[in-house]
Structure 1
Amino acid sequence: MRDIKRDHDFLDDDPILEYLNEFGSGLVASYPGARGETNADYYFFAVRDPMLNAFALPGGFIAVHSALLLAAQSESELASVMSHEIGHVAQRHIARMLGQQKQDALIPLAAMILAALASKGGSDAAIGVFMGGQGLQIQRQLNFSRDAEREADRIGFQIMGAGGYDTSGMVAFFGRMQAASRVYSDLMPAYLRSHPLTSERISDIQARIREIPYRQRVDSLEFHLVRARARVLQDESTQGRVEAAAFFDAQLTQQSRQQQAGAQYGLAYLALKKGDLAKAQGWLEKARGTMRPAEGAVFSTGQASSDGAAMFASMALEIKLAAGQPASVKQLALKEAEQAHLRYPLSRGIARQYADAMIVNGKLDDAARFLRDQAQLYREEPKLHELLAKTYAAQGKIALQHLALAESYALSGGMLAALDQLTIARKASDASFYDMAVIDARERELQARRREEMKEAKK
């Protein structure tokens, strides 16, 4: 996961990550057996890739390709894929499969995952991996047995139902996958290569659907907003942005207010990426005004209707904190960020935006205190230490700056870079006796961890 997070195609976008983890955590919480016998802590994330795919790693790491996120026509369809992957983790299919292989089988498996991330789904390099002898071996390792797939379908179906989603979404999405396989011909979608569909499996799901009453599920507004962000981030080339803008323009003509708000939000994000801040603000205000659910509106499952307020607030802060904004706008951003953090205290993205707003407004002591408190609460979050290093740099605290950078690199898996930062911190002229003691202790810890990693790599 550290290697994946460092990859360019890991979608390190706070609103997308927060949505997927809130969405996935809701599925896990709805089904008592979802954590399995290992009581797995799940982490859901997105990968930029044009192939329709999703995959799970041992330990509860579940990835959704950006193309699959865009292909899902409803949250129920997205839930069908994520619930299926949760089913694999809950039943330990991946770990059991790897346990039957020789220990060195982990090496080509890890290499394949990283190569797939780096090379994009349809590239010659990726095809070459699967065409080679080693690729065939890896493919056999990744293809779950028919029994495992059927079991994941069963668990996934139960998770969807428990979460209040329309279970027919599983058949709808799998049916679209089969249709896509006929279009792709020999270049079958990656999801079908690693999750082979059979008519028997689809028939089994249809039979299960007939046994339960129909339950309508209204999609949250966040679903449409997140898909708009994913579409912009899917292809950030000039042509990609032109195609995204054309898609949003067409989406504006839809009768659904959720679709319209999603398109307006997407156009705001495109304008922000292009540096047109006034246009970005204009589209954001239109998106906010388009979708205003009736007070007290509820889903059929009893869940309160969503208004996307947290994502709108985050986008407003992105625009106000962007380079080129005047000081008056950045001061307004600080007030809005403080209010947003109080309203959405669990949003990690908004918490960091609040810290960034304090930094750009020169509230460095306040920012340092806030970030130190946050780092104590969220010890595994490297971005907090990056912001802390930025704060210390602005204060001229060189030793503390490099200590914070060392923590950020260590949490990201860059042990050598972290040790280098500790060396720089030790040489800083403002390093106190206490700082030197912290540097020495942290250096011993990181060197010991690096030795352990080297030992594991040799096995």
Structure 2
Amino acid sequence: MPRLSVRPMVFATLLFACTLPPAILPLPSVAQTLPSLGDTEREELSPLMERKLGERIMREIRRNRDYLDDEPLQEYLEGLGNSLLAVRPEARGETQYDFFFFAVRDPMLNAFALPGGFIGVHSALILAAQNESELASVMAHEIGHVAQRHIARMLGKQKQDMLIPLSAIVLGALAAISNPDAGMAMMMGGQGLAMQRQLNFSRDAEREADRVGLDIMREAGFETSGMINFFGRLQQAGRNYTDNTPPYLRSHPMTTERIADIEARTRDLRYRQHADSLDFALIKARVKVLQDSSPQGLIDATAAFERQLQQKSRPSTIAGKYGLAYIALKQGQTSKAQSMLDDARTALKNGTPAARNVVLSSLAIDIKLAAHQAKEALDEAELARNQFPLSRGIAHQYADALYAAGRYEEAVTFLRDQTQLYRSEPKLYDRLAKTYAALNKQAQQHLALAESYALKGSLPAAIEQLSIARRAPDASFYDQSIIDAREREMKAQRLEEIRQEKEG
């Protein structure tokens, strides 16, 4: 699979020509300072269409090798993003879509929003953020774009004027993932006027997203200076390196007026200090390893963590030891990884024996599993599950530990309960299929795989798995009934997909 290329001009278009955020009706407090949307624009792009477009693009992104499908990182971004959304629930839109925050591996500083509340952050941007408020400022800004339906409004105007067909923009966004030049050509369609109007709109959209983002940050308890500091640093980088302007500035045009507007809005605000969470330091260490896991990349990361340990501060020590433990695990040195992790945990305790951290616990389970210490892994997972009952990553690791310990029936019971609570997680069905295979329950194995493929957007593969399940020698009458019902549903969904593809 080709790299998920995110060159500046492509994401300038992907953000402003393809981002179709979920619709909302601004509440009175927002409507006082921000323009409301017209009925015509709302009719052009329904919230349901926005979500479907976002899901379609996300299916392609998830297949790319540079999509960071890393549960501790994912969980951290989701937690940070949802803490921002908690103070502005109307940003979720009238249909209350669940936002999805994710990361992609890329050395360029950028972030972007996709249709339906999907917000992506580049790994380099996470590493460049000097504190949690700076990272929160970028995410709050992107939430502002989504909340105000900026691209839905722009697409409404373009569709009315027949400048760029909606289908061309969607296909261009998908093409841009693997071929930036082709994606740009498809989205541009040779329409210079459309691009100019798009850029004109983006300037207003940026100021609007700044205002919404600042309000969200302030209400969520983050330092509003984080937005000024981060954007200002990017702007300075653009001045010093004109041939290599940070992509975030190209896809989010930064002007002197915007900086002045942000400063004016924060000048009279009471200063509020936000203490960075330990998770922020740990996740930055994890991302440093994920950014480049090549032998040389791990050597460079090791040197960086050793320098970090010299700072002698408690967060730096914990994160540095954690980073070294994670590198050792990547290199297959489980004893060294355990030693480094023990050091990190000792530094965390610092006189508080009960101190626990979900990121450290997750790595502890991974180390035990990698060392084939099934009983110890299960003990660690059970403790973590009790400490962090809401962690999805820990729940998945608990299932892995049950499997590693050979407790397959317990794993099936746990996973089946989880699929009832979290029906949209394909990873649960993948684990369930693996466990059924260990029990030689073939019909159930392929039924679980069918659900996984369906959730990943591969309906033909899902339907094929149902056919295999039907032919399984252990398929009961009850299984056949389920297979028949799910096959009817999936075939109907597939026909609808084909119809939409032809119309698009």
**Common fold by TM > 0.5:** yes
Partner of 1:397: 441
Quote the Cα distance in structure 2 between the aligned partners of 1:135 and 1:260: 52
Alignment of 1:418 with 2:462, yes or no, is yes
Q: 1:387 to 1:129 in 2, by over 3 A?
A: closer
Partner of 1:386: 430
Greater CA deviation, 202-211 or 91-100?
91-100
Q: 2:399 corresponds to which letter in structure 1?
A: A
Query: Is the partner of 2:92 in helix, strand or coil?
Result: coil
Partner of 2:344: 287
Partner of 2:203: 146
Partner of 2:270: 213
Partner of 1:203: 260
Could you tell me how far 1:108 is from its partner in structure 2?
Answer: 4.2
The partner residue of 1:313 within 361, 367, 373 is 361
Greater CA deviation, 38-47 or 268-277?
38-47
Q: Which runs of 5+ in 1 are unaligned?
A: 119-124, 296-305
TM-score (norm 2): 0.82
Greater CA deviation, 129-138 or 347-356?
129-138
Quote the Cα distance in structure 2 between the aligned partners of 1:342 and 1:132: 51
Quote the Cα distance in structure 2 between the aligned partners of 1:31 and 1:131: 37
Matches within 5 A, 1:324-339: 325-326=371-372, 329-339=373-383
Query: Is the partner of 2:91 in helix, strand or coil?
Result: coil
Determine if contact 1:31/1:163 at 8 Å carries over to the other structure: no
Quote the Cα distance in structure 2 between the aligned partners of 1:162 and 1:338: 36
Alignment of 1:179 with 2:236, yes or no, is yes
Percent sequence identity is: 57
Q: 1:156 to 1:370 in 2, by over 3 A?
A: same
Alignment of 1:134 with 2:177, yes or no, is no
Greater CA deviation, 255-264 or 18-27?
255-264
Matches within 5 A, 1:208-287: 208-287=265-344
Residues 260-319 of structure 1, C-alpha deviations (whole Å, 9 max, x = no match)? 211211111111111110111111111112234787xxxxxxxxxx96611111110010
Greater CA deviation, 217-226 or 285-294?
285-294
Determine if contact 1:142/1:194 at 8 Å carries over to the other structure: no
TM-score (norm 1): 0.90
Partner of 1:101: 158
Determine if contact 1:222/1:308 at 8 Å carries over to the other structure: no
Q: 1:368 to 1:38 in 2, by over 3 A?
A: closer
Quote the Cα distance in structure 2 between the aligned partners of 1:445 and 1:338: 37
| Structure with larger RCO (C-alpha < 8 A, sep 6+) | 2
Partner of 1:299: none
Q: 1:38 to 1:214 in 2, by over 3 A?
A: same
Determine if contact 1:130/1:136 at 8 Å carries over to the other structure: no
Residues 339-376 of structure 1, C-alpha deviations (whole Å, 9 max, x = no match)? 21122111111101111111111111111011000000
The partner residue of 1:31 within 69, 73, 88 is 88
Quote the Cα distance in structure 2 between the aligned partners of 1:132 and 1:155: 31
Could you tell me how far 1:34 is from its partner in structure 2?
Answer: 3.1
Partner of 2:28: none
Matches within 5 A, 1:2-41: 2-41=59-98
Greater CA deviation, 363-372 or 251-260?
251-260
Partner of 1:58: 115
Q: 1:129 to 1:428 in 2, by over 3 A?
A: closer
Quote the Cα distance in structure 1 between the aligned partners of 2:197 and 2:419: 39
Quote the Cα distance in structure 1 between the aligned partners of 2:471 and 2:196: 52
Q: 1:39 to 1:140 in 2, by over 3 A?
A: farther
Aligned-residue RMSD, C-alpha? 2.3
Could you tell me how far 1:141 is from its partner in structure 2?
Answer: 8.0
Partner of 2:472: 428
Quote the Cα distance in structure 1 between the aligned partners of 2:403 and 2:180: 43
Q: 1:267 corresponds to which letter in structure 2?
A: L
Determine if contact 2:173/2:187 at 8 Å carries over to the other structure: no
Quote the Cα distance in structure 2 between the aligned partners of 1:64 and 1:151: 20
Could you tell me how far 1:36 is from its partner in structure 2?
Answer: 4.2
Determine if contact 2:172/2:185 at 8 Å carries over to the other structure: no
Q: 1:395 to 1:134 in 2, by over 3 A?
A: same
Partner of 2:48: none
Residues 218-260 of structure 1, C-alpha deviations (whole Å, 9 max, x = no match)? 1000001111111111122222222222221221112322122
Determine if contact 2:176/2:182 at 8 Å carries over to the other structure: no
Quote the Cα distance in structure 2 between the aligned partners of 1:398 and 1:40: 36
Could you tell me how far 1:136 is from its partner in structure 2?
Answer: 7.2
Quote the Cα distance in structure 2 between the aligned partners of 1:152 and 1:23: 18
Matches within 5 A, 1:345-384: 345-384=389-428
Residues 141-197 of structure 1, C-alpha deviations (whole Å, 9 max, x = no match)? 874522111111001000000011111110100011112223442332221111100
Q: 1:139 to 1:5 in 2, by over 3 A?
A: farther
Quote the Cα distance in structure 1 between the aligned partners of 2:309 and 2:168: 46
Determine if contact 1:37/1:90 at 8 Å carries over to the other structure: no
Q: 1:318 to 1:17 in 2, by over 3 A?
A: same
Q: 1:114 to 1:251 in 2, by over 3 A?
A: farther
Residues 36-70 of structure 1, C-alpha deviations (whole Å, 9 max, x = no match)? 45544211111111111111122211111111111
Q: 1:273 to 1:107 in 2, by over 3 A?
A: farther
Could you tell me how far 1:35 is from its partner in structure 2?
Answer: 2.8
Determine if contact 1:43/1:61 at 8 Å carries over to the other structure: yes
Q: Which runs of 5+ in 2 are unaligned?
A: 1-57
Determine if contact 1:382/1:409 at 8 Å carries over to the other structure: yes
Alignment of 1:45 with 2:102, yes or no, is yes
Determine if contact 2:289/2:327 at 8 Å carries over to the other structure: yes
Partner of 1:121: none
Query: Is the partner of 1:165 in helix, strand or coil?
Result: coil
